[in-house]
A = this chain, B = another copy of it.
Amino acid sequence: MIDTALKKRFESYLSGLNFDKEPANLYEPIKYTLGNAGKRIRPLLVLWSAKTFGVEIEQALPAAASIEIFHNFTLLHDDIMDNAPLRRGKPTVYKKWGENIAILSGDTMLVWAYKMLEDYDGTVYKKLNSLLSKTAIEVCEGQQMDMDFETRDNVSIKEYIEMIRLKTAVLLGAALQFGGIIANADEQDLENISDFGIKLGLAFQIQDDYLDTFGDKDTFGKRIGGDILDRKKTFLYLTALQEASPSDKTGLQTLFHSGNIPDEQLIAQTIDFYKKYNVDKIAQNQMETFTREALQSLDKTTLSADKKTFWQDFAKNLMLRKS
């Protein structure tokens, strides 16, 4: 799925940005964060989108970097909020440099996400900036909802979907719009390609929840059942609560709040509840529904048939992942 040559081009562009600046305590964490590459899925979405809407990817590199720097800013601050020790196998900035530096270098990255857009002009510049602000606010709202959910016992599926839409999905939609904006795509195309990204993001996030519990331990890469052990209010857990009989609902909630139960037992008993109420099937259905809606939005764009095929393949590959 990942275009290796394009990813390499992006890496080379990103590492060409000059963060060898003073004070070192501010810029070292930024270089460290940006150098710890993930799949770079968001910047690749910007570049592919620019290409399918008809401009050279070189023109879209600053916007792709903006999205990636923004995304890494959110990870940096989220890691403080979650007390996360590791990110992609390496110590988080918060663990390595302390919280104050993590706050401040994160702030600086957010500003750099805007600064990258200065390569553009006129209405393209304004559209990119406004979309970045709109999206950034939504991502912050999603993160706050996620934090609020931790102490709430009555989270609905609808609220959960809204949370993952804001926290994760809108940024994928914005990445796709970024490419379209640079190519001067019309408003209707921007809206449809954005919706394609958002719906795919929702499907992806529910798949994340699904694989964490029902994935194949040989291909998943992480321990199966991690979300259960972390007592995360996932799509699976919330669906089970919604579907269960009153006594099973109480049983699952009691299990969820129990402190001294062995890990394997907690996982097995939770999965029993999930299976009893077909939570795995419901999650798969929901993923399929969102993927279908994504493809419907894609179909509404004015992109040519071969461009649509490219994105259809992308969506299918994304949903076939095992990890």
Give the interface of A toward B (CB within 8 A): 21-23, 25-26, 77, 80-81, 99-101, 103-104, 106-108, 110-112, 114-115, 118, 121-122, 125-126, 129-130, 132-134, 136-137, 140-141, 143-145, 147-148
A81's closest neighbor in chain B, by CB? B100
B144/A118 in contact, CB under 8 A: no
* Cα distance A126–B100 in the bound complex, in angstroms: 31
In the assembled complex, which residues on chain B have CB atoms less than 8 Å from the CB atom of A77?
103-104, 107
A114/B126 in contact, CB under 8 A: no
Across chains A and B, which 9 residue pairs bring their CB atoms closest together, nearest first? A26-B144, A81-B100, A111-B136, A115-B133, A108-B140, A23-B144, A114-B133, A111-B133, A111-B137
A129/B144 in contact, CB under 8 A: no
A111/B110 in contact, CB under 8 A: yes
Q: How many monomers of this chain does the complex have?
A: 2
* Cα distance A121–B148 in the bound complex, in angstroms: 37
A82's closest neighbor in chain B, by CB? B100
Which one of B111, B126, B141 contacts A23 once the chains associate, using CB atoms below 8 Å?
B141
Which one of B101, B132, B140 contacts A104 once the chains associate, using CB atoms below 8 Å?
B140
Which one of B26, B81, B106 contacts A141 once the chains associate, using CB atoms below 8 Å?
B26
* Cα distance A77–B22 in the bound complex, in angstroms: 20
* Cα distance A237–B137 in the bound complex, in angstroms: 42
Which one of B100, B132, B134, B137 contacts A108 once the chains associate, using CB atoms below 8 Å?
B137
Which one of B101, B110, B132, B147 contacts A100 once the chains associate, using CB atoms below 8 Å?
B147
30 contacts between A and B (CB under 8 A): A22-B141, A23-B141, A23-B144, A23-B145, A25-B147, A25-B148, A26-B144, A77-B107, A80-B100, A80-B103, A101-B144, A101-B147, A103-B103, A104-B140, A104-B143, A108-B137, A110-B110, A110-B111, A111-B133, A111-B136, A112-B137, A114-B129, A114-B132, A118-B126, A118-B130, A118-B133, A121-B126, A122-B122, A126-B126, A129-B129
Q: Considering residues A130, A143, A144, which has the most beta carbons from chain B within 10 angstroms of its beta carbon?
A: A144
Q: Considering residues A80, A121, A133, A148, which has the most beta carbons from chain B within 10 angstroms of its beta carbon?
A: A133
* Cα distance A164–B81 in the bound complex, in angstroms: 30
In the assembled complex, which residues on chain B have CB atoms less than 8 Å from the CB atom of A108?
137, 140-141
A144/B110 in contact, CB under 8 A: no
* Cα distance A21–B81 in the bound complex, in angstroms: 22
* Cα distance A257–B107 in the bound complex, in angstroms: 32
